[in-house]
Structure 1
Amino acid sequence: MASEAFEEIVADFEFLEDWEDRYRYVIDKGRAMDPLEDALKVPATKVEGCASQVWLHPRIEAGRFSFDGDSDAMIVRGLIAVLRALYNGLAVSEVPKVDAAGELARLGLNEHLSAQRSNGLRAMIERIRGVAAEAA
């Protein structure tokens, strides 16, 4: 059920054999994202449970879910970019059905993220799913 954008990331990860190259790839994905406007970095968009500062700004337009995000940590910006590839453009009703843990496991992220980063990633996924559930 993964999007084409997420499948591209999976394919790129398969091509990159070394985890350090994969780590740089994730960081580059984050660098390629436009920064979140400072006006959107408010308590309502801040994600609690992350070691870094993280903001997610969800949007629902014509029944489709998308979000922008930002973080003060480059690897977390990259993780936001990966989550955007996984969720952006889905119908709101499809967002809760995504097996995020299973999809991200295809990238091997769980094995290479610290416990704090993994907790933060789960917190971001919970926020995404919660916003979509409220909108559905």
Structure 2
Amino acid sequence: MSAQDAQAELIEEFSLFDNWMDRYQYIIDMGKQLPAFPEELKTPETKIQGCQSNVWMHHERQGDNVHFQATSDAAIVSGLIAVLMRIYNDRSPEEIVDTPPSFLEELGLDKHLSPTRSNGLHAMLQRIYSVAEQETAE
């Protein structure tokens, strides 16, 4: 499944919910499924600036793909991480760069997140794209 397919699938899943309270709960439930994040990776280098809550994101190259791990101390932010991981994790740097986050507008996340949560989401996306751009340059 491509990153574009993952976005389309996510948009379809969210369309099943009638209201934003159900969508928020789904996002939170997704966050509960994140794999454990090793404590030793919670460093100043992996911490994402611009998020109201604490967020750490680690990446490493695995063959042709970039593998991300991330965690947060906030439930909704953990869910947003899970959304991003579903779309961008374990993809080639080129696919990441070539996959704009159209899901933000289509899901309405930009309109339904608080400004600080939206800033944090954009900071996480910026980190993902920055890593992918660095990896394509190497």
Secondary structure of 1:80 counterpart: helix
Equivalences for 1:5-24 in 2 at 5 Å? 5-24=6-25
Task: Using the TM superposition, name which of 51-60 and 90-99 deviates more.
Answer: 90-99
| Cα displacement (A) at 1:124 | 0.5
SS at match of 1:49: coil
Question: In structure 1, what is the equivalent of residue 65 of structure 2?
Answer: 64
Q: How does 1:92-131 map to 2 (within 5 A)?
A: 92-100=93-101, 102-131=102-131
Structure 2: gaps of 5 or more residues: none
Amino acid at match of 1:21: D
State how far apart, in whole Å, the 1-side matches of 2:7 and 2:74 are.
21
Aligned mates of 1:128, 1:11 — CA distance in 2: 23
Structure 1 residue ranges without an equivalent (≥5):
none
Shift of 1:89: 2.6
Quick one: percent identity of the two aligned structures?
A: 41
Alpha-carbon separation, structure 2, partners of 1:97 and 1:16: 29
TM-score (norm. length: structure 2): 0.91
Instruction: Give the RMSD, CA atoms, in angstroms.
Output: 1.4
Q: Which moved more, 1:62-71 or 1:25-34?
A: 62-71
Moved >4 Å (runs of 4+): none
Count, aligned residues: 135
- TM-score for both structures, normalised by structure 1: 0.92
